[in-house]
Amino acid sequence: MRVRLFQLRLIAAFLLLLWAGAVAGIIALYHPGGPVDWLVGIAALGPVVVAALAVRYPPLAVGDRSSVVMGWLGVLACLVLIPVLFGAFEAQASGDTSLTVPSPEAMYAGTAALVLTCLFAGLGVARRIVGEAADRQRRFIVGTSLAMVLTLATGGLLGGAILVNGLALEAAAPPSSIFGPVGTATTPPLCEGALAAGAYATVDITASATVDRRERATSTVSGARAGIDERWEATGTRDGLTSSRGYVEMAGTAWQEASGSGTWRAVPLPVGRTAPAPTLDDAVVQTALTPALRVAAEDVGFEEVGGATARHCRTLTTGTLALGGFPELEWLAETTAAGGAPDLHDWRGQLDWWVFADGELGMASVQISGLPPDSWPGGGVQGVLQAMLTATRRTTPLAIQPPPGVTP
């Protein structure tokens, strides 16, 4: 009996150590601000008190089978609590403020650990209250009832403190959006009005090519731009062949990486040019959305994009303008053989864009179609090229670095 009691107290002591570590981590790392920031650390002491009760009154049971069940109950509480603590510490160390208002996953895991801890302690306290000679069923009912009370008291206090503090912070925080200004009386300019590329931008592009509704090629581009400097990485599949590419432009010099080789080579500039042509969001503005091309644009109306108000505009476009504004479409239009993109000047389509209150382009999409050129494998009746571009975080400064192993 003494051996079992020692084993259960050892498990309870480890559980107490884990909860004490959780309190220490919360006090050290949880500082989001707010009116009851300090109360969260105090409320976290509740599970520690419950674990201390388990050390003082371990759930000792008569019989080998019951003793094994009680032991595994404590072990299970420890196993559930350990990943919860590591996840919380890693999130806080990385600057994630998910503890301000816990995610459903974090609340579920934390609640499971707390319920098991309270049940482990409650069964031990019940043995103390009703006595060792009491009926086993009565001890179980009293123990589970105590566990429910302890869970509601400790969980309600800790969860309530976190939620109240988090909601107060959200109410006090000014609204923001990665797409553009929010909470301002300024309305986005007219479609034929001001339109510019932001000083900075994080750009994502998805593009595809189809022939008679059969997918021919797809591509995904992730990049960033600072002024006229830019970089991007692309992965795509064309005519069954997959490849990856990279591009960096900095201080008037451009480098390319082909097929994920890791080898970057400088790209010569055209005669008379001092800088390469833009390839990201500024390419759309400079090529396909010049003031003259937006005179007869259709105003679709205001839309909310990522929490920011934007004016949705639309105009007709040509294959030449689409390829110039979305250079990734050139890669989709090429054949697998060496050579440039085919002439698509007779293709027609639609160009949509979204301008925000700062007069900057935040989104653009294009779709053009026409007779597939003879250079496309398989032939067909109708070819379609389409692309979707987003330019976000346009006020967040960033610096473009040269490719790895390259000295500018």
| Residue 102 pLDDT exceeds 60 | no
Distance of alpha carbon 150 from alpha carbon 18, whole angstroms: 18
> Quick one: tokens of 316?
């007709």
| Distance of alpha carbon 250 from alpha carbon 22, whole angstroms | 47
Q: What is the pLDDT of residues 245-274, one digit of tens each?
A: 999 998 888 899 877 677 888 888 767 777
pLDDT class for 324, splitting at 50, 70, 90?
A: very high
Residue count (the chain)? 408
Q: For residue range 379-390, what is the model confidence (pLDDT) as tens digits?
A: 789 999 999 999
The least confident of 100-104, 107-111, 240-244, 383-387 is: 100-104
Task: State the pLDDT confidence band at 97, using cuts at 50, 70 and 90.
Answer: very low
Mean of pLDDT values over 351-356: 96
Scanning the structure block, which residue is given the tokens 């997918």? 215
Q: Name the strand (E) or helix (H) holding 253.
A: strand 253-258
- Hey, CA dihedral for 343, 347, 349, 355, is it positive or negative? positive
Task: List the chain domain ranges.
Answer: 2-172, 200-392
- Please indicate whether residue 223 or residue 11 has the higher confidence score (pLDDT): 223
Other Cβ atoms closer than 10 A to 167? 13
Give the pLDDT of residue 382.
Answer: 93
Could you give phi then psi for residue 340, rounded to 5 degrees? -80, 180
The tokens of 135 are what?
């009926």
DSSP-based three-state secondary structure for 287: helix
Residue 76, pLDDT score: 87
pLDDT computed for residue 3 by the predictor: 65
From residue 323, how far is each of 162, 215, 309, 327, 341 by CA, in Å? 51, 19, 28, 5, 9
**Average pLDDT estimate for 145-160:** 84
Q: What is the pLDDT of residues 189-212, one digit of tens each?
A: 999 999 999 999 999 999 999 999
In degrees and rounded to multiples of 5, residue 189 shows phi and psi of: -65, 165
Read off the pLDDT of each residue in 166-193 and give the average, rounded to a whole number: 78
Cβ atoms within 10 Å, residue 120: 29
- What is the reported pLDDT for 172? 59
What does the pLDDT read at residue 95? 47
- Domain 200-392: assigned CATH number: 2.50.20
pTM of the predicted structure, to 2 decimals: 0.60
Q: Which amino acid does the sequence have at 14?
A: F
Q: What is the largest CA-CA distance in the chain?
A: 99
Name the pLDDT band for 83 (thresholds 50, 70, 90).
confident
Confidence of residue 328 (pLDDT cuts 50, 70, 90): very high
pLDDT classification of 127: cutoffs 50, 70, 90: confident
